[in-house]
Amino acid sequence: MRADRRTAYRILLLLTLVWMGVIFWFSSRNSTDSSTLSRGLLQKILGWIVPHWAQRSADEKQAVIDAFHTLFRKCGHFSEFGVLGLLLRLTTRLSPKLNQIRRQTHPAVTGFAVPALLALLYACTDEFHQRFVPGR
């Protein structure tokens, strides 16, 4: 069982690092590229959920996309870091280094505070990184 836990930890750690790379990649895109990507994705989603989307005029489609674009981007950003928080929670739960701390502290420290702090630190570095991306 111990080996299974260690393997699960390593897989989660790898997934967490890959997800951090995905966030870094999204943050490296300039605002035009980022907006084009999110508008295209929003249009595909609207095509799946809005009845008769294909029959609507281009102006009508554009008006709907414009109305929801900011909310869609905010939800995407929230989801991006929500996934990171979940991965960090699962990774820290299986972390062999945190086992000792877990036994000596309140469960909320390793269960919530440590992953939340790590996600917050990554979010701060992400914002700092975006300052150096032209067009952001």
- The dihedral through the CA atoms of 17, 18, 19, 22 has a sign that is positive
Question: What are the tens digits of pLDDT across the range 48-92?
Answer: 999 999 999 999 999 999 999 999 999 999 999 999 999 999 999
Residue type, 131: R
**pLDDT more than 70, % of the chain:** 99
Tokens of 35: 């907006």
Element (H, E) at 113: none
Q: How far apart are CA 9 and CA 23, in angstroms?
A: 21
The pTM of the full predicted model, rounded to 2 decimals, is: 0.83
The residue that leads in pLDDT, 135 or 7, is 7
